[in-house]
Structure 1
Amino acid sequence: MPGTPEVEELCSAIEQSARKLGVAYSRDKVWPILTAYGDAFGHDATVVAFRVATSMRQAGELDCRFMTHPKEREPYAVALSNGITPETDHPVGDLLADIQERCPVDSYGIDFGVVGGFKKVYGFFTPETLQKVSTFADMPSMPRSLAANADFLARHGVADRVNVIGIDYGHRTVNVYLGAPAECYEPETIRSMLRELGMAEPSEQLLKLGEKSFGLYVTLNWESSKIERICYAVTTTDLATLPIPVEPEIVRFAQSIPYGGAERKFVYGIALAAEGEYHKIEAHLKWQAGVMDYI
């Protein structure tokens, strides 16, 4: 099936980057996703980014993410109707509808892997409509671990600072992105927060990156009352300016991504989970000032 020039261009960029990174590429996997959301790519406000991570679970994968338009179109329904994700009776399949019913979602994004296919939907809120943790904790389809950790989030000043929700349909997890106050990024506060969550002592790299972070997110699932993962992220136009050394595979990734703009933009994050720390980077092919960063 033919696509628009924008879809063809993005598909070519994905193939080029995947081959440079040694990631298995199949047009049959990528093309149906791009054409399902094809009208997004001619929109001036569309953001398109590629992402890789150093965790074992995400080895050999290249993720692509983009904003979808128009915002009134529900992206999960598009994925279901086009057969790019299966129906499920798990609560993860109801969560976006619960959010839409209760919250003023400003825009959406999706995330898919060149290998793994369709993965996530993101719902974004404007700075004027940041949401309360309690709003999501009360939703019947939300993991109970959010309610279980509501007091922890309130003590650290983020109870009313939710700016993005990310729903991972494949892994059945939820990311809650938080616009945390400055003190949350101080090394001692990071250590204290992680200790309270029962996580390992953070590395010096995480602490240094954390001090420069614009935000953090926590990952939840339906199988545990604990926060599964926490991540800190920074933005930069030059990886050499980061306060930490950059992993060699991430440098290789950054060099593999085509970009036609005047200034490259990266989002660099370090996440801490039960299996340890791992790094990830998002490189933008197209971005707009004022659009929410996430990783």
Structure 2
Amino acid sequence: MSEAAPTPQEGAIQALHSAIEEAAGLLEVEYARDRVLRILDLYGGDLAEGVVAFRVSTGARRAGELDCRFTVPRDTDPYELAVKNGLLADTDHPVSRLLADISENCPVDGYGIDFGVVKGFKKIWVVLPRTELQPVAHLAGIASMPPSLGASLDFIARHGLGDTVGLLGIDYVGRTVNIYFGEPPEGGIAPESVRSMLREIDQAEPSEQALRLGQQAFGVYVTLSWDSPLIERISFAVATTDPASLPVELDDRIDLFVRHVRAADPDTKFVYAVASQPDGEYYKLQSYYRWGSGVPEIMQLPEGVLADPV
């Protein structure tokens, strides 16, 4: 008797796992195969229709990892599922309450999860409706939100980072929150503005490469924690169909991954970002294994931003 054909869900999980395995081999990343399959099985109910992306980063602490993220069904409680299945430990830390508090206080359009093929489950993404972007001040008032968001409202306003938010990322391992502003500054951010804001929050002086990306950024996001009164990082992101066209020199690891992805699909879309740190910046490249009509909504992409390379 022949084996039954895999369901669309099973086929999508198998295909994504094969893609992860191939990319991990290319990047010489040793990963926990069983852990990856477990995450895919738990959250892959809509994987055949979901948006899927990979991310690689520079820097010694991040070079040995490959991240995968994908959207999950809206009726899923991704945090509860992670805790019940031992992917996350339930704690008394405010990070454990933040997803529920956001969902109770804001309209939510959907969720996503993020995991490293080496370190396992990391983040949950919260997508807010593009027609109902939430004021930064409203999010700052959520009880479990890092107090540093409320303390940074004046900074955010003075530097014109944005009045509203369209996407949040909750990092349960690092215990940080990413706040993605929903109204990117028109024309990017001028070099002197980038220098000024980074000095104010005790970050390293930006490189010329970072300043060029800031001028072309379609989006800006900040990283906050419960342990610091200051914004921990500011990231500037550009969207492109060809990272080689960017006015930057690509890190060897990122360049290798770009060539691998483009060989498989020359039309792949990318997001390239620089993130500030007190001891120097690092770079991140996200490629889309599966793009979808919802991506511009999730990313709050201005219309036409990917019509041509940046």
Tell me by how many angstroms 1:134 deviates.
1.3
1:263 counterpart residue number: 267
Tell me by how many angstroms 1:158 deviates.
4.2
Picking from 264, 272, 295, the partner of 2:276 is 272
Is the contact between residue 184 and residue 190 of structure 1 (CA under 8 Å) also seen in structure 2? no
Is the contact between residue 19 and residue 25 of structure 1 (CA under 8 Å) also seen in structure 2? no
Matched, 1:116 2:119: yes
- What is the percent sequence identity of the aligned residues? 50
2:253 counterpart residue number: 249
Picking from 203, 210, 219, the partner of 2:207 is 203
| SS at structure 2 position matched to 1:157 | coil
* Distance in 2 separating the partners of 1:261 and 1:20: 16
> 1:39-78 residue pairs with structure 2 within 5 A?
39-43=45-49, 46-69=50-73, 71-78=74-81
Is the contact between residue 110 and residue 122 of structure 1 (CA under 8 Å) also seen in structure 2? yes
Deviations 1:16-41 (A, max 9, x none): 11011100022111011000012121
The normalised TM-score by structure 1 is 0.93
Matched, 1:103 2:109: no
Q: How many residues align?
A: 290
1:33 counterpart residue number: 39
1:92 counterpart residue number: 95
* Distance in 2 separating the partners of 1:25 and 1:60: 10
Picking from 152, 162, 181, the partner of 2:185 is 181
* Distance in 2 separating the partners of 1:117 and 1:257: 22
Picking from 210, 214, 217, the partner of 1:213 is 217
Deviations 1:108-167 (A, max 9, x none): 111000011000001112321111111121111111111111111122334532111100
1:148 counterpart residue number: 151
Q: 1:192 to 1:182 in 2, by over 3 A?
A: farther
1:18 counterpart residue number: 24
* Distance in 2 separating the partners of 1:18 and 1:293: 25
Tell me by how many angstroms 1:53 deviates.
0.6
Matched, 1:164 2:167: yes
2:229 counterpart residue number: 225
Deviations 1:194-250 (A, max 9, x none): 122222221100011111111011111111101111100111111121111111110
Q: 1:40 to 1:259 in 2, by over 3 A?
A: farther
Is the contact between residue 132 and residue 159 of structure 1 (CA under 8 Å) also seen in structure 2? no
| SS at structure 2 position matched to 1:4 | helix
Is the contact between residue 258 and residue 285 of structure 1 (CA under 8 Å) also seen in structure 2? no
1:288 counterpart residue number: 292
Is the contact between residue 254 and residue 285 of structure 2 (CA under 8 Å) also seen in structure 1? yes
Q: Which amino acid aligns with 2:176?
A: T
**Unpaired runs of at least 5, structure 2:** 1-5, 301-310
**Unpaired runs of at least 5, structure 1:** none
Is the contact between residue 66 and residue 116 of structure 2 (CA under 8 Å) also seen in structure 1? yes
